[in-house]
Amino acid sequence: MSLVIGIDIGTSGVRAMAVDERGRIMGEARTALPAPERRGAAVTQDPGLWWTACEASLAVLARQIDPAAVAALAVDGTSGTMLAVDAAGEPLGPGRLYNDGAAEAAAALIGRLAPATSAAHGVTSGLAKAIELAASGPARILHQADWVAGRLSGRFDVSDENNALKTGYDPVARAWPDWIAETGFDRGLLPDVVEPGTAVAPVLPAIAARFGFPAGAIVASGTTDGCASFLATGADLAGDAVSALGTTLTVKLLSDVPIFSPAHGIYSHRLGERWLAGGASNSGGAALLQFFTPERMAELEPRLDPARDSGLDYYPLPKPGERFPVADPALAPRLTPRPADDALFLQGLLEGVAAVEAQGYRLLAELGGPKLRRVISVGGGAKNAAWTAIRARKLGVAVSTAATDEAAYGTARLARLALSRPAA
């Protein structure tokens, strides 16, 4: 059986995972990354650290599997992380990380020229960083995943539709738009863009020899870490959704049409002929932790009654301000009245977050998305069985917990997909 490898370049480390034809994880390895450099709003990191960690993870993984069975590899990276390279693919300076917000002047320029629906708005956008990186005289400006994939294949001229989105790529027209040139930026510095999971090139002979991969193993176009995590859950039909229950609440819906709503921060990643749309609420775990520790919530869980509504009408927020599904920077938390019974209060809070989640999916449907089919849960809140039951009641669909949302697993799925597609 052939194996595929997904490589996830995360914020704190690089994970490599080998998956067989049945979707079973056959091996995995992770190498930590040091903390990035921070100077004011600038957040940078030496790209060499990404590659060194990638090599280390692949070396460990190759000892766990039969590397001669590897048929394809793909890479995901953090969305909006950029670097400038020369004609040989060598970095001309540090990488500008996804949360680098120093490109204020470039962001202001983009704000005046870009359509409201473009994902290139904001100081952390890939395009804002690219405009500033152009001053170094590069041969190419790449996304993090593009460059690591290039170290595997020798091609430094290809990106994917997901990483390119925040750099201004138009996923509907499937092209770099004309307005980018109006900023004064040379679009020729940007890579060609292909669909995620497209065969790009064979693994370099030196790489194949080092890790024991066969000469015919291919490197496929990857994706962002967020899209990879969605793919890892197994969601694959229009109407499938993934809710991330962490510090905040994030909802993502697989749609057969693109959904854009700048007022709510909604844009759509293209996944073949389908679209991944979603939004992020300020409600979520941070609002709950203002009142209960995780241990206390676990103690109270047996006393909750998911089948009956508490009668409390809460909108849990850690502080005023909401972005999705209500776009109101002054929206106040609604957390009263508070009953004397802690279990009833906790149930009201959980119902409140579930109501926000349901409202988010209703908004996506109102904007043209498909009817909700099922919801897969990830994040710490997914472990709370009572909350899962409450959410299923509010959402009106089956709610399950993902077996995995590891980005490396989702990227391995793209590597497998590339084996059945024409090369770029």
* CATH number of the domain enclosing 321: 3.30.420.40
Q: Please check whether residue 149 lies inside any domain of the structure.
A: yes
Mean per-residue pLDDT for 191-207?
Answer: 98
Regarding whether 270 and 192 lie in a shared domain, the answer is no
Regarding whether 16 and 148 lie in a shared domain, the answer is yes
Regarding whether 310 and 222 lie in a shared domain, the answer is no
Q: How far is CA 418 from the centre of its chain?
A: 20
Regarding whether 198 and 50 lie in a shared domain, the answer is yes
Q: Please check whether residue 151 lies inside any domain of the structure.
A: yes
| pLDDT tens readout for residues 343-359 | 999 999 999 999 999 99
Q: Please check whether residue 129 lies inside any domain of the structure.
A: yes
Cα–Cα distance, 261 to 242 (Å, whole number): 19
Number of domains within the chain:
2
Cα–Cα distance, 9 to 144 (Å, whole number): 8
Regarding whether 159 and 173 lie in a shared domain, the answer is yes
Regarding whether 241 and 213 lie in a shared domain, the answer is no
Q: Please check whether residue 122 lies inside any domain of the structure.
A: yes
- Taken in order 132, 133, 135, 141, the sign of the CA dihedral is negative
Above pLDDT 70, what percent of the chain? 100
Cα–Cα distance, 154 to 368 (Å, whole number): 41
Regarding whether 316 and 367 lie in a shared domain, the answer is yes
pLDDT class for 6, splitting at 50, 70, 90?
very high
pLDDT class for 424, splitting at 50, 70, 90?
confident
| pLDDT tens readout for residues 297-326 | 999 999 999 999 999 999 999 999 999 999
* Whole-number pLDDT of residue 122: 93
- According to DSSP, residue 379 is labeled S
Mean per-residue pLDDT for 174-180?
Answer: 98
Within 10 angstroms of residue 40's Cβ, the number of other Cβ atoms is: 7
* pTM of the model as a whole: 0.94
* Whole-number pLDDT of residue 423: 79
Mean per-residue pLDDT for 35-57?
Answer: 97
If you average pLDDT over every residue of the chain, what do you get? 96
Regarding whether 80 and 161 lie in a shared domain, the answer is yes
* Whole-number pLDDT of residue 421: 86
Q: Which of 282, 253, 247, 205 is nearest to 363 (CA)?
A: 253
Q: Please check whether residue 424 lies inside any domain of the structure.
A: no
Kindly tell me if the per-residue pLDDT of 1 is higher than 90. Answer: no
Q: Please check whether residue 240 lies inside any domain of the structure.
A: yes
DSSP strand pairing (82-85 vs 240-245): unpaired
DSSP strand pairing (37-39 vs 42-45): antiparallel
Regarding whether 84 and 57 lie in a shared domain, the answer is yes
| pLDDT tens readout for residues 385-416 | 999 999 999 999 999 999 999 999 999 999 99
How is 57-124 classified by DSSP, letter by letter? HHHHHHHHS-GGGEEEEEEEE-TT-EEEE-TTS-BSS-EE-TT----HHHHHHHHHHS-TT-TT-STT
Q: Please check whether residue 321 lies inside any domain of the structure.
A: yes
**Which domain covers residue 114, as residue numbers?**
3-229+407-418
Q: Please check whether residue 42 lies inside any domain of the structure.
A: yes
Q: Give the gyration radius of the chain's Cα atoms.
A: 22
Kindly tell me if the per-residue pLDDT of 10 is higher than 90. Answer: yes
Regarding whether 281 and 334 lie in a shared domain, the answer is yes
Cα–Cα distance, 177 to 179 (Å, whole number): 6
| pLDDT tens readout for residues 181-191 | 999 999 999 99
Regarding whether 225 and 368 lie in a shared domain, the answer is no
Regarding whether 198 and 53 lie in a shared domain, the answer is yes
